[in-house]
Amino acid sequence: MKNFIYVLLMICIAGLVFTGCSGAGNNENRAAAAGAAEGIDLDISVMSDTLAFAQVSVLFDNPDEYFGKTIKISGLYNSSHYEETEQYYHYLVISDASICCKQAVEFKWAGESPYPDDYPGEDTKILITGKFSSYDEDGFMYCYLAVSDLTII
């Protein structure tokens, strides 16, 4: 069943890409070419809400294909504190076009960025660029973006 849903999702994505989404595809293609020139492998920030939501699903369903790639994405900043590890975790949250479904992309800001001083307020719209990476914690693998650039938009 999961494979069927994945195939159906990919067909929908392909349909959106090839139909141009009301002309938006041309702008997205130009932005993608500009992103490639900047060393960005995948620029999700230029995609429509629905396409960005679907792309993040693909990203986490097939992480091996994206490890080490530079990804650019925008969404809302959120954080959480986990008592067990006594750490704060930072997320970029994206929604589909209807805002009924949300996904979170964990990120770690490179360098010395103390929380909360150097971080935006909750639900602030941000744009991040970083390498897709993973870490192990409590016997589980977690994927995240090792962020080199964070901009409030």
d(CA 143, CA 116): 22
> Which distant-in-sequence residues (6+ apart) come within 8 Å of 10 by Cβ?
58
How many domains would you assign to the chain? Answer: 1
Supply 140's token pair: 């589980």
| pLDDT confidence bin for 110, thresholds 50/70/90 | confident
How much is the average pLDDT of 67-77?
97
Q: Which residue has the higher pLDDT, 151 or 12?
A: 151
Question: 4 by DSSP, 3-state: which?
Answer: helix
Number of neighbours of residue 64 by Cβ within 10 angstroms: 6
d(CA 42, CA 8): 22
| pLDDT confidence bin for 105, thresholds 50/70/90 | very high
| pLDDT confidence bin for 114, thresholds 50/70/90 | confident
| pLDDT confidence bin for 98, thresholds 50/70/90 | confident
Is pLDDT above 90 for 46?
A: yes
pTM of the model: 0.74
CATH code for position 50:
2.40.50.140
Domain that holds residue 23: 2-152
> Which distant-in-sequence residues (6+ apart) come within 8 Å of 123 by Cβ?
76, 77, 78
How far is CA 27 from its chain centroid?
A: 20
Is pLDDT above 50 for 24?
A: no
